[in-house]
Amino acid sequence: MVIQIPVEELYITPKWMISQIDGVSIDYADCTVHAIFRGQSESKIIACLKDYGITLDNRFWGYQVSFGKAGIYILIEKNHNIYNG
């Protein structure tokens, strides 16, 4: 599954700051998308997946994230390394 969050919907002000993102991750505990910006040591919440009705569980799902001027793209992948009985 692919989730695309356009830059207009990200919690980033001003919007040009997306070009300053060094890394993006998902916090499964509160289903938020975090970013680390250049020159900063702490991550900031840039999107909440619950706003879209999405909750994820890292026991069964993995992800890959890409980001750029168009926004954030998240590829959700089933974790195939899990024993299902």
What residues have CB less than 8 Å from 73, skipping those under 6 apart?
2, 3, 4, 5, 65, 66, 67
CA dihedral 38, 44, 46, 52 (to 10 degrees): 150
Number of domains in the chain: 1
Find the domain containing 70 and state its range.
2-78
pLDDT tens column, 31-49: 999 999 999 999 999 999 9
pTM: 0.83
- In a domain, residue 27? The reply is yes
* Residue 81 pLDDT exceeds 70: no
Instruction: Look at residue 83 in the predicted model and tell me its pLDDT.
Output: 46
- In a domain, residue 83? The reply is no
- In a domain, residue 24? The reply is yes
**Average pLDDT over the chain, rounded to an integer:** 87
- In a domain, residue 52? The reply is yes
